[in-house]
Structures are given as C-alpha cells and as structure tokens.
Amino acid sequence: MPDTLRQDQDPEVTLITPSAPISTPTHGGRAKCLQRLVRLDMPVPRTVALRFDTVHRIARGAMPDIDRILAEFPRGALLCVRPSSEDPDWGGPGSVLNIGMNDAAYVELSDSIGADAASSLYQRFVMAYAIHVARLDPDVFEEIDGTGQDGLSEALRCYEEEAEEPFPQDPARQLAEVLRSMARAWDGTTARLLRQAKGAPVDAGLGLIVQQMALGLGIGECGSGVLQLVNSETGLPQITGRYLSQSQGREALQRGQKSLFLECDPRGPSLEEIAPEAFEQLKQYAAFMREKLRAEMQIEFTLENGSVHILDGVRVKRSARAALRIAVRLAEEGIISRQEAVMRVEPRGLSELLHRQIDPEAERDVLGRGVAASPGAATGRIVFSSSEAQASAARGEPCVLVRRETSPEDVRGMHAAVAVLTERGGITSHAAVIGRGLGLPCVVGAVRMGFRLHDKLLLAEDGRRFREGDIITVDGSSGQILAGAPKTIEAALDDAFQTFMSWADAERDIGIRANADTPADATTARNFAAQGIGLCRTEHMFFEAERITPMREMIFADSPDDRKAALARLLPMQRADFIELFRIMEGMPVCIRLFDPPLHEFLPSDRAGMRDLAEALDLPVSDVTRRVESMGEYNPMLGMRGVRLGIAVPEIYDMQARAIFEATLEASRDGAPVVPEIMLPLVSACREVELVRSRIDAVAAAVRHERGRDFDYSLGVMVETPRACLRADEIAQHAHFLSFGTNDLTQMTYGLSRDDAGRFMSDYVQQGVFPEDPFHRLDAEGVGELIRIGVRRGRQGNGGVMLSVCGEHGGNPESIAFCRSVGIDYVSCSPFRVPVARLAAAQLAIQDKMG
Ligand code: PEP
Ligand code: MG
C-alpha cells in the first residue's frame, strides 16, 4: 500500500519509510532518526511511529486502532515499544521488549530457535510486563532460580498469583497495555520534574515507536550490543561499546555481565574474534551514519544467527571536552561547517574544560550544598582563617578556606587557598567575585551547613563534624561540598580548544573583555584572548602587607598634609601595578576603575588588628577603636563610597590618576602607546563627573608638563545607579564611555543586597518569585529596562560614546544576548568566563545569520 494512502487512512499510525511524514516535533527524535537510518538503507527492523498527540490520547484512555498497528507486522512477530521524546536527553519510560510472546509463540519459537531461547524470551517478557505494565512488585520474581522451562513456569505462576489472572495471551491486549503504561509513565510527576530539570518544556510530548524484534537469542551467533566510534569522555576516536551473546536490548552494558569487547583486546575476548564479518559491517555502518547523519552516533544492534540488525541510533553521550573535540573533528573532515561546529558546544559546558572537574564516575559523599559561585573542583584541608590559609600554603598543604563570608581582608587567604566555602553570600558577593577572578572553585551561601568558626568546626547538613585539617572537596560547578578527595580530571585547553575558539571569534560581533585586577588575572585574560581589560578594580591592590599600613595611615590622617604623605608612599606601588598591567595587556585597552569601596573596609575588624594598627600609628588602642567605630556606616553600600569618596577625599583619586598617567608614559616607552581608560564608580549626578574630571584633567596636565611628554586617555562613568541610567544623556556629554555596573544596578533596582540575597534566593527561585537569580542572569524586564533607557539616552547625549557592561552578567550567555540586542559594544567578565562569553556571543551572531 502506498505511504500516502496509509496516512490518509490512519494518521495516528505511521510506518517508518523513507518518505513517511515523520518529524522530530511530532514523532520525537528516535522516530526521526530511525527514518534517517531507513533512508540510508540500514538493516532496520520494520517500525511504526505514534505521534505525540496520539500518545497523549492513549494516556487519557483513547487507544488507536491496535489491530491496525499489528497488521503492519508479519503475523506472530514479536514487537518492542520504545520512547521517542523530542530531545533524547529528556529521557522517557524504559523500552518493553518481546511483546506478542505467549504460549502459542513459545511453541513455534521452540521449534525455530530452540526451547531454551524461547523460554528465556517468554520469561523476560512476563517479568518486564509484570513490573512495568501490571506494576507488580519486582520482589515477586526474586525467588525464581531456575532457567529454561522451569524458570518460565515459575514466572508465569508468580504472575498469576500476584495479578490474580493468567498472563494475558492476546498480543493486541499486551500491546495496548504496554502503550498505555508507557504513555502514563511520561505524565508522572517524577518524570515531568526530571525532564524539566533538563530543560524540557512543561508540555513536552512523547512519541512511541513499535518495532519488530530482532531476537538476539537463538541458534548461531545471536546477541546484542552497542557500538560507537569515539570515546565519550575524551572525544578521541576509539571503538567503544560491548556485545553479549544471547542477549537483548542494552543487557551487554549491565554490570556483572560477561560482555565482550568489540575490537580485539588483550583484556578478553571480542566480537571481532567471534564474528569478524558482523564486526566489520557494524564499523562500516557506524562510519556511514557518522558521515550521513553528520554526528557521532551510538548504534544499538542485534545479531541474529550472525546477521546484523540496527535497532537504533542515538547521538553519542559526551562530556564537554568530548563535545568540543567531536565538533572540531567533524568540521575538519568537512562533514559539518565551522559554524555548525561552533553551535554544537554548550557555552556553559566550556567552563568544564577550563577547570579541573570531579570525575563523573567518582562517588560523591555530599556534605552540603550552596550557590555554585565559581566553577571547578579542588580538594584541601579545612582552614577557618586567612592567616591559617597562608600558613597552610607555606607548608605546601592545599587548603579550603571556610568563612562565614569573605571581606577584602581575606583576599590574601583566598590567594593561598585552593577553594573557598562560605555560609553567606550569593553569586555576586565578595567570595564569588574574587573566586571567579582567581579561577578558584567557590561555593557560597551554604546556609544549611553549620559554621562554628569559634570551635573550628564545620557541620555537614546531616550533622557530621569536620574539624580544621580534615579534607573536603569544593565543587564550585555543582555547588556541592564533598567529603574527602574524589577523583578529579584536569582542565583541557588543547589544540582542539584553540581551533574551536578561533572559529567562534570569526563569527562574533560583540567585544569581550575581562575584569582583571592583578597581573595573574591579566595574564589569564590574555591567554583566554580577552580583547582588553574592561574593569580593573583598583581597591584590591591595597591589601598586600606593605600597602595596608600606609593605606590605613592615609585613612587615619588628620590633615591633608598627613594624607598626602601617606598617599605619596602608595603612589609608586600603584604606578608599578599599572605598568605591569599595561605591559601584559600591550596593545589592548585597559579600563581602570578608581577606588570604589567605603574606606572603613580597609580598617581592622577584630581586637588583634586594632592593636596592630595602634602600634603602627603609635596611638592608644582606644583611639583606634573609637575612630574605626566612628567610620562605620548603617548602610555602607549606599554610603560614602565610589565617586563620593572622590569628591569628599579627592587626594585618593588624584594619586590614582597620577599613577595611571606616569605608568602610561613608562609603559609606552618600550611598547605600543598605551591609552588608559579611567572609570568613575557609583556616579548618580552629572556634577560628580564634572568635578572629578576637572581634577583628573589637571593631574594629566601636570604630568605632561613635568615629563615633557604627551599622552591620551579616556574618561568614563560606571552606570550602576538607577539615576545614572535616567540621566545618561547629560552624563554621557562628559564621558568617552559608559559601563553598566550591573551588579550594583541590580542591587539598587531591586533594593536587594547582593551580599545577603543568597539566604533566600533559592526559595525565591523555587517558588517562581524570580525566574532566576537576577545577580546571575540579568533581569531583562526591570534592570534591562533601565539599561535600555541608559543606552538610548547615553547615545542621545553623545553619539560617539562607547557602551559596555562590566557586572558579573557579562559572562552569562542569556545576559550577553540581552546586551547584544540593546547595542552594547562589549561585555567584560571574569577571566575564566571569557571563553564562555566568546562562544555565547558567537552563537548569537550565527543564529542571526541563519535567520
Ligand atoms: C558592578 O557593580 O556591576 C561592578 C562591576 O562593580 P562592583 O562589582 O565592583 O561593585
Ligand atoms: Mg559596582
């Protein structure tokens, strides 16, 4: 019968032929893939596909014409039913094999393939039907120890006893019940939640395919297995898979089975040795599929008396590193285009390549969970303070710094640690930002763990106690804290990675810079091909031992002269910092943000620190304590910080501007001329920019005059208060560039503390109050609206103004899409997120080109 006529008669049941109307959105990926295999003339058993809407109706009790389905197959053929969801990763109910097996078929098969094989097939079906369809307890069959006819009789007896009816003999009833149970399983709550967690939409559909069985049991070489041409972990060419004689489905992959290797292998017997022709054919089929389906495929096959049947082909499961290598190799062999290769790697997966990861095979003893704030995994001994972290590093012992939260005082400890764990905080809190900058695995906001810092005790969520020196592992990619030292795998920045990223860069149409504060950050940024530094947070430069004291003296100075003297000690250090940065980033823009945090963050917070400072300043401890307390603010993030310091204590910015200009001249002496970009934080009024700009211009003029040499620089404004967005037109008239600081802008738009939001963010996201943590993915509706206004007005005020985003969102793929859509020139993110941002931006450009 021609296909078209068949469809007219019953669109619910579609025989898979080369021209049948089958598509992934209506019948699912497996059905579509089988059609492709049929078109390639592969030996695929006869198969019928049921559409999503048909399966949906089945779940509600409306059966398609079962006799119509059976009529597609030879009388008495055994069948299997497999799920076919739109995306294979969304899973689906397990396949049911051997449908149609009954007493009559048993007699017939005993003649053709032998009584043992027939008994085994029947017994398998009875048990699968009992458990997956009749929903009987699997324990019912546990007692059966016989095989062959005895085992079968036992299984049938157990079924009858538990189900209170004889095992159904009618193939039509068997098939209908299997279809119904699989359709219903897809609608179950657990299945729904699981697939939604993998990105499936709420109304994702399920297709089912009904396929004639290739038995895998019987006379001659019979069996089943899977084969693929690459290693799923490494992505390197390697024939992998298993084969098991006298087996069905994926039994060859079950542990404890005496499965064979595929290729000759010194570790044991192989399919190549026992059935060389079949092995050769399988390899050829796999290579043909790879070329024609333009993907690495895993084939599920069955041998029936030595002849090969291909039951299924699925895209090979792959780690991120394998995905990248596979895509590069397919493009290098001309099987797919470079653009397609770029589209085939998930940007977020890239961070797996940039950091050491926990081996996916390793056992995980989870002690607690928090926000996955900085990816990668590291193992070390617990320490509870920065000084202990430094001491541990000095002894050569890797350590994990455990703190309630971190502050700038902890930066040195963080440098010394291999990972950080904090009780408080969210995705943009101090530990998270610094962790990402350093490429240091970090979990923050682990509120369900106990942080008894005074007792030097960390309590797991289940109450287990961990003391200083105990070994734990921080998995900053998943947000888990693990006991001990599970096996890890190294970062993979090989040639394939470099090639792949160069293809991505060729497509990209938005700039990517890095947020880098130290020479180490800048070097990482360069290695990851950032196009400059988009944000250098200068305050981090003042925490080193020899700097913190003059810094504190400057803060404590009573008179402008004393302040100047302290700043004069800091000037050469700052100058040296900038010279180094400019040299590392030679030929690229470096955007330096002037001092931002409230000054009191640089003062000690504990008694020992106060005493040290009193000694250094030659003052009584009580004076120092009083002074520190008097500098405290109720709301420091909205207090005396950013450009407000630049107005109230202008000598600090004067010193920084001078250091930048002197470094510019110095670095330009032996390299390409440097054009520094200077950025003012936390601006809310145009007048702030005018005032600070005139002082910086004056410093520039003074340095030019003193040195007798000219240089250029540009001045920009961080747009990170809602008012700066609204007044962007007048602000832009005094600036060469505007950079949206989306961390503070999110904090201020929501009125949501970036350091405290971690405490309730997961509740908010779970209950759907926020679709996602807005510090993580830019809130396109609210914060985004302010950015749109800022972009429009900024360009109105100054047509040539350059616009960028330098908050943490700059490394988030969805946020990059937003930035690109509103016309941002570049985004800047932590160095380790630069490759992710480069790939995400490239994919957006390719999507646009492809329409
Ligand atoms: C911001 O607020 O977005 C920003 C980049 O600055 P910081 O995180 O240093 O406040
Ligand atoms: Mg900010």
Query: Could you tell me which residues are beta bridge partners of residue 6?
Result: none
Coil, helix or strand at residue 822: coil
Report the distance separating Cα 717 and Cα 738, nearest Å: 5
Q: Please report the atom of ligand 1 found closest to the CA of residue 515.
A: 5
Residues of the chain above pLDDT 90, percent? 68
Using 50, 70 and 90 to split pLDDT, how confident is the model at 3? very low
Q: What is the mean pLDDT of residues 242-262?
A: 84
Residue nearest to atom 8 of ligand 1 (CA): 743
pLDDT of residue 758: 79
Residue 4 has a pLDDT of 41
- The number of beta carbons lying within 10 Å of the beta carbon of residue 170 is 12
How confident is the model over 13-40, as a mean pLDDT?
95
Mean pLDDT of 543-563: 85
Q: Any idea what DSSP says for residue 132? A: I
**Residue 312 pLDDT level (bands cut at 50, 70, 90):** very high
Is residue 577 helix, strand or coil?
helix
pLDDT at 7: 44
Joined together, the tokens standing for residue 203 give: 């109304």
654-688 burial: b if 16+ Cβ within 10 Å, else e? bbbbbbbbbbbbbbbeeeeebebbbbbbbbbbbeb
Q: Which two tokens stand for residue 359?
A: 């081996």
Which amino acid residue places its CA nearest to atom 4 of ligand 1?
Answer: 741
Question: Could you tell me the distance, in angstroms and rounded to a whole number, from the CA of residue 742 to the centre of ligand 1?
Answer: 7
3-state class (DSSP) for residue 410: helix
Identify the H or E element spanning 38: helix 29-39
Which residue's CA is the closest to the ligand 1 atom numbered 6?
741
Query: Cα dist. 811→618, 691, 818, 832 in Å?
Result: 46, 33, 12, 9
Strand partners, 99: 79
Best substitution site from 533, 743, 746 to test ligand 1's pocket, by max atoms within 8 Å of Cβ? 743
232, 319 Cβ separation under 8 angstroms: yes
Give the distance (Å) from ligand 1 centre to CA of residue 596.
9
Mean pLDDT of 297-317: 93
Q: Do 659 and 704 touch, CB atoms closer than 8 A? A: no
Q: Is the CB–ligand 1 distance for residue 597 below 6 Å?
A: no
Average pLDDT over residues 151-161: 92
Q: Note the pLDDT of residue 748.
A: 97
pLDDT of 208 above 90: yes
- The SS3 of residue 163 is helix
Residue 557: predicted pLDDT: 86
Residues at the binding site for Mg(2+) are 720, 744
More reliable by pLDDT, 257 or 849: 849
Cβ-contact 215, 304 below 8 angstroms: yes
* Cβ(807) – ligand 1 distance below 6 Å: yes
**List of residues 6+ apart from 724 with CB closer than 8 A:** 683, 684, 717, 718, 731, 790
The closest ligand to the CA of 743 turns out to be: 1
Residues making up the binding site: 537, 593, 720, 741-744
Taking a 5 Å cut-off on Cβ, the residues next to ion ligand 2 are: 720, 741, 744
Please tell me the predicted confidence (pLDDT) of residue 253: 83
469: which DSSP letter? Answer: T
From the list 27, 430, 600, 776, the catalytic residue is 430
Report whether residue 783 contacts ligand 1, using a CB cutoff of 6 Å: no
Task: Read off the tokens for 114.
Answer: 């032998």
pLDDT of residue 1: 41
Instruction: For ligand 1, pick from 645, 744, 783 the residue to mutate: most ligand atoms within 8 Å of CB.
Output: 744
- Share in percent of the chain as helix, strand, coil (round to 5): 50, 20, 35
Query: 145 pairs with which residues across the strands?
Result: none
Angle (CA) 544-547-550 rounded to 5° is 155
| Residue 102 vs residue 2, higher pLDDT | 102
Query: Rounded to the nearest whole angstrom, what is the distance from the C-alpha of residue 35 to the centroid of ligand 2?
Result: 55
Per-residue confidence (pLDDT) for residue 581, from 0 to 100:
95
What is residue 254's predicted lDDT score, i.e. its pLDDT? 78
User: Is any atom of ligand 1 closer than 6 Å to the C-beta of 537?
Assistant: yes
Q: Give the ligand 1 atom nearest the CA of 742.
A: 3
Share of the chain above pLDDT 70, in %: 98
Over residues 122-142, mean pLDDT: 91
Q: What is the pLDDT of residues 34-89, one digit of tens each?
A: 999 999 999 999 999 999 999 999 999 999 999 999 999 999 899 999 999 999 88
The fold of the 13-212 domain, in CATH, is: Dna Ligase; domain 1 (3.30.1490)
Reading the block at residue 456, the tokens are: 């030097």
Q: Is 849 helix (H, G, I), strand (E, B) or coil?
A: helix
CB 232 within 8 A of CB 317: yes
- Proximal ligand: closest to the CA of 741: 1
Report pLDDT digits (tens) over 431-453. Answer: 998 888 778 999 999 999 999 99
In degrees rounded to 5, what are phi and psi of residue 367?
-95, -25
Q: What is the DSSP string of 262-324?
A: SS-BTTB-BHHHH-HHHHHHHHHHHHHHHHHHTS-EEEEEEEETTEEEEEEEEEPP--HHHHH
CA atoms of 837 and 289, how far apart (whole Å): 33
Using 50, 70 and 90 to split pLDDT, how confident is the model at 337? very high
Query: Given pLDDT bands bounded at 50, 70 and 90, which one contains residue 142?
Result: confident
Please state, in angstroms and rounded to a whole number, the distance separating the CA atoms of residues 592 and 537. Answer: 7
**Ligand 1 within 6 A of 477 CB?**
no
> How far does CA 271 lie from the centroid of its chain?
38
Arch. (CATH architecture) of 223-318: 2-Layer Sandwich (3.30)
| pLDDT tens, residue by residue, 242-251 | 999 888 888 8
d(CA 357, CA 489): 5
148-157, 293-302, 342-351, 547-556: range with highest mean pLDDT: 293-302
Both structure tokens of 825: 């020139």
CA dist., res. 45 & res. 49, Å (int): 13
Residue 10 has a pLDDT of 58
Q: Which helix (H) or strand (E) holds 435?
A: helix 430-438
Round the average pLDDT of the chain to a whole number and report it.
Answer: 91
Q: For 147-166, give one letter per residue: b (16+ CB within 10 A) or e.
A: eebebbebbbebbeeebeee
Distance from chain centroid for Cα 709: 49
pLDDT at 149: 87
Confidence of residue 2 (pLDDT cuts 50, 70, 90): very low
Ligand number nearest to the C-alpha of 539: 1
Q: Is the CB of 806 under 6 A from ligand 1?
A: yes
Q: How far is the CA of 840 from the centre of ligand 1 (A)?
A: 22
- Specify the fold of 508-598+633-850: TIM Barrel (3.20.20)
Entry field: residues in the chain = 851
686 noted as active-site residue: no
Q: Which ligand sits nearest to residue 682's alpha carbon?
A: 2
- Class of residue 537 by CB neighbours under 10 A (exposed 0-12, middle 13-18, buried 19+): buried
DSSP code of residue 840:
H
Is 27 part of the annotated catalytic residue set?
A: no
- Whole-number Å distance, alpha carbon 593 to ligand 1 midpoint, is 10
Is the pLDDT at 319 greater than 90? The verdict is no
Catalytic residue among 806, 809, 819, 829: 806
What lies within 8 Å, CB to CB, of 571 at 6+ separation is 655, 658, 659
- Asked: is 360-489 a CATH 3.40.50.800 domain? The reply is no
Strand partners, 308: 303
Q: How far apart are CA 338 and CA 578, in angstroms?
A: 39
Cα 789 to ligand 1 centre (Å): 19
Q: What is the pLDDT of residues 698-749, one digit of tens each?
A: 999 999 999 999 999 999 999 999 999 999 999 999 999 999 999 999 999 9
The pLDDT-based confidence of 8 (bands split at 50, 70, 90) is: very low
- The CA radius of gyration of the chain, in Å to the nearest whole number, is 33
Among the residue ranges 34-43, 397-406, 410-419, the one predicted with the least confidence is: 410-419
Boundaries of every domain in the chain: 13-212, 223-318, 360-489, 508-598+633-850
* 675 band by pLDDT with thresholds 50, 70 and 90: confident
